[in-house]
């Protein structure tokens, strides 16, 4: 079963041994370079079969609870059988349990024995073995396929901490000269153990990197979840901008001519851009929620329009009291009629002014100068008595400032607070020790509010000072914001409306003209809309009407 290692390798032809050692060296280099986990596992088994001249083999990985061996890769050249790995064919075999329900070790299965005892096992002939191993499953497989699984070499794979992480099992090595199935030699054992050791290092490294990447992405998602919990509006934005970013990036990558014909992405580039897009608004964790979610112009913790309404009610009450007093002092019916008519007209005027002020509280694309002047005039028109008995104008200076906001619902000060999130984003991201393949994340994420003409923020970069990736994110950020239906201060734009605005931004030097052309020509907006816009926002788009678009 488990024999001591022999130093005698004289049975091997010197030239053949040298070839196999050279193969082992080449395999080790290849394993260290492989980044894809499925291909790595496949390479390990195929290399082991080649170096030991085995017809078939299986690579098992220990389950997360360390209580079973899962089939990862199965190969058999004679049967033309290939399962797992890059084949896309799942291995249909049930895991090999390492212990039973009572915790007793499963020492009857060769692979389980090798894993539990951390020992290499050589079996010359499974049909003549008398060492207590159970080959019932192997024999049943042979009966179904007409194959004969004879010689076995089973090697445990250990990580840097000495824990068994998998098992490499090889079947039926053939004699180099006669081609007959023979037992695995001591040299086969040495080579397989050396390969298993190198493979375990490569596999462990890949798993550790994968775990770190998973941990990192989970941390990124946790930040976005924190923003989401703080504000559902920006949370949806943080989810959709990366999707739109990658749609436009992939479209640009496929372009073979024009200004961006030479721009292409590697898989590392894609990962770096996706991470940057996920983190592009991470600085909003510091933005006050009452500013982020400001749905109306007077909203802070609550909508202060209700306070203005209350003052109008006080003014109406005082007007009614004055009318009642005047009526009581009236000497004729004509005078009473005049007082009542004046009172009714005054109430209508108050209600009209009240409705106007309420309408001004709703954000809009632009507010007319005449409407802004009327807000100030209405404030001066009315006086109301405060709880301290003092007379005051209808609106405070702060309320006038808010109600006369030209566009949207934010004052200049609140806009600066919102804009500050990008500076916080840059500061947060630049403070992190990014690995080489992610070093441009702060630049990509921190420049999505810059403009091609240098009038953006926070650094006033021009187009030539920005990467293609940052320019892609700028368009994605704007288009998502235009079409978003979950903002408290506006309705989502239809496709045609959003593209009209985006085109105007292209004309005004706000966004990259070449990427804008790709966004329209490759119908990136349409792909995004089908998945993320509600049907009522997906209207007909006539590209000939889009400002700045010169494509076909």
**pLDDT tens track for 169-192:** 999 999 888 889 999 999 899 888
- How big is the CA angle at 333 (ends 331 and 335), to the nearest 5 degrees? 65
Which of 416, 414, 396 has its CA nearest to residue 293?
A: 414
The pLDDT, as a whole number, for residue 438 is 92
Find the mean pLDDT for residues 19-25.
Answer: 67
3-state secondary structure of 296: strand
**How is residue 479 written in tokens?**
């288009």
Contacts for 271 with CB less than 8 Å, ≥ 6 apart = 437, 438
Find the mean pLDDT for residues 123-144.
Answer: 87
Hey, which of 172-186, 321-335, 459-473 has the most confident mean pLDDT? 459-473
Find the mean pLDDT for residues 382-404.
Answer: 87
Instruction: DSSP letter for 409, please.
Output: S
CB 209 within 8 A of CB 459: no
Is a pLDDT exceeding 50 seen at residue 9?
Answer: no
Is a pLDDT exceeding 60 seen at residue 413?
Answer: yes
Could you give the percent of the chain with pLDDT greater than 90? Answer: 48
User: Per-residue confidence at 17, pLDDT binned at 50, 70, 90?
Assistant: low
Is the model more confident about 170 or about 219?
170
Segment 517-545, tens digit of pLDDT:
999 999 999 999 999 998 999 999 999 99
Could you give the percent of the chain with pLDDT greater than 70? Answer: 90
The pLDDT, as a whole number, for residue 46 is 87
**How is residue 184 written in tokens?**
């695995």
Is a pLDDT exceeding 50 seen at residue 10?
Answer: no
Is the model more confident about 477 or about 2?
477
107 burial (CB, 10 Å; 0-12 / 13-18 / 19+) is middle
User: Per-residue confidence at 165, pLDDT binned at 50, 70, 90?
Assistant: confident
User: Per-residue confidence at 4, pLDDT binned at 50, 70, 90?
Assistant: very low
Is a pLDDT exceeding 80 seen at residue 20?
Answer: no
The pLDDT, as a whole number, for residue 303 is 75
Contacts for 414 with CB less than 8 Å, ≥ 6 apart = 291, 294
Contacts for 111 with CB less than 8 Å, ≥ 6 apart = 58, 60, 69, 96, 154, 167, 169
Distance CA 440, CA 453 (A): 22
3-state secondary structure of 229: helix
Is a pLDDT exceeding 90 seen at residue 155?
Answer: yes
Is a pLDDT exceeding 80 seen at residue 501?
Answer: yes
User: Per-residue confidence at 34, pLDDT binned at 50, 70, 90?
Assistant: low
CB 206 within 8 A of CB 31: no
66: left (phi over 0), alpha (psi -120 to 50) or beta: left
The pLDDT, as a whole number, for residue 30 is 65
The pLDDT, as a whole number, for residue 22 is 66
Is a pLDDT exceeding 80 seen at residue 84?
Answer: yes
Cα of 465 vs its chain's centroid, Å: 26
Is a pLDDT exceeding 50 seen at residue 5?
Answer: no
The pLDDT, as a whole number, for residue 191 is 87
Is a pLDDT exceeding 90 seen at residue 331?
Answer: no
User: Per-residue confidence at 205, pLDDT binned at 50, 70, 90?
Assistant: confident
Query: How many CA atoms within 13 Å lie on the side-chain side of 94?
Result: 4
Is the model more confident about 348 or about 37?
348
User: Per-residue confidence at 7, pLDDT binned at 50, 70, 90?
Assistant: very low
The pLDDT, as a whole number, for residue 144 is 92
Find the mean pLDDT for residues 494-510.
Answer: 94
Q: What is the pTM of this model?
A: 0.65
Is a pLDDT exceeding 50 seen at residue 3?
Answer: no
- State the average pLDDT for the chain: 86
Is the model more confident about 430 or about 228?
430
347 burial (CB, 10 Å; 0-12 / 13-18 / 19+) is middle
Residues facing residue 81 across a β-bridge: 76
Is the model more confident about 247 or about 190?
247
Find the mean pLDDT for residues 493-498.
Answer: 92
Segment 261-274, tens digit of pLDDT:
999 999 999 999 99
The pLDDT, as a whole number, for residue 489 is 54
User: Per-residue confidence at 6, pLDDT binned at 50, 70, 90?
Assistant: very low
The pLDDT, as a whole number, for residue 1 is 45
């Amino acid at each position: 079963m488990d024999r001591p290692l022999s130093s005698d390798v004289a049975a091997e032809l010197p030239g053949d041994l040298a070839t196999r050692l050279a193969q082992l060296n080449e395999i080790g280099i290849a394993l260290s370079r492989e980044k894809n986990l499925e291909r790595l596992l496949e390479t390990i088994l195929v290399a082991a079969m080649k170096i030991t001249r085995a017809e078939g083999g299986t690579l098992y990985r220990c389950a997360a609870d360390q209580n079973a061996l899962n089939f990862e890769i199965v190969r058999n050249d004679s049967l033309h059988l290939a399962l797992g790995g890059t084949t896309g064919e799942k291995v249909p075999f049930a895991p090999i349990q390492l212990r039973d329900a009572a915790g007793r070790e499963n020492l009857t299965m060769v692979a389980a024995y090798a894993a539990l005892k951390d020992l290499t096992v050589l079996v010359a002939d499974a049909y003549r073995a008398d060492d207590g191993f159970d080959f019932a499953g192997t024999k049943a497989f042979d009966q179904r396929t007409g194959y004969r699984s004879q010689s076995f070499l089973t090697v445990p794979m250990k990580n840097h901490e000495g824990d068994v992480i998998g098992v490499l099992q090889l079947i039926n090595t053939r004699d180099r000269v006669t081609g007959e199935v023979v037992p695995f030699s001591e040299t086969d054992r040495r080579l397989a153990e050396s390969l298993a050791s190198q493979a375990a290092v490569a596999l462990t490294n890949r798993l550790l990197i994968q775990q770190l990447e998973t941990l990192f992405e989970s941390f990124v998602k946790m930040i976005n979840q924190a923003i989401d919990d703080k504000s559902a509006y920006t949370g949806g934005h943080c989810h959709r901008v990366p999707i739109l970013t990658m749609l436009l990036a992939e479209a640009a990558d496929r372009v073979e001519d024009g200004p961006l014909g030479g721009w292409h992405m590697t898989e590392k580039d894609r990962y770096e851009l996706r991470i940057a897009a996920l983190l592009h608004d991470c600085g909003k964790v510091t933005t006050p929620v009452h500013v982020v979610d400001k749905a109306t112009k007077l909203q802070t913790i609550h909508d202060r329009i209700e306070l203005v309404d209350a003052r109008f009610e006080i003014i109406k009450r005082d007007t009614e009291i004055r009318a009642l007093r005047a009526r009581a002092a009236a000497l004729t019916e004509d005078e009473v009629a005049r007082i009542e008519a004046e009172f009714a007209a005054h109430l209508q005027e108050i209600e009209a002014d009240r409705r106007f002020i309420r309408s001004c509280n709703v954000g809009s694309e632009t507010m007319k100068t005449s409407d802004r002047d009327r807000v100030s005039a209405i404030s001066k028109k009315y006086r109301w008595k405060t709880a301290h008995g003092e007379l005051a104008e209808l609106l405070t200076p702060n309320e006038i400032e808010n109600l006369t906001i030209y566009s949207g619902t934010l004052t200049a000060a609140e806009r600066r607070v919102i804009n500050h999130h990008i500076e916080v984003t840059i500061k947060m991201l630049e403070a992190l020790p990014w690995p080489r393949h992610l070093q441009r994340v702060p630049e990509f994420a921190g420049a999505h509010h810059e403009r091609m003409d240098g009038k953006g923020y926070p650094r006033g970069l021009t187009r030539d000072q920005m990467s293609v990736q940052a320019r892609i994110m700028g368009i994605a950020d704007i288009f998502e914001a235009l079409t978003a239906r979950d903002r408290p201060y506006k309705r989502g734009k239809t496709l045609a409306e959003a593209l009209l605005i985006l085109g105007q931004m292209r004309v005004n030097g706000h966004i990259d003209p070449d990427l804008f052309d790709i966004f329209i020509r490759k119908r990136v907006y349409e792909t995004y809309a089908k998945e993320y816009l509600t049907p009522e926002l997906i209207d007909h788009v006539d590209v000939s009407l889009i400002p700045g678009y010169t494509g076909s």
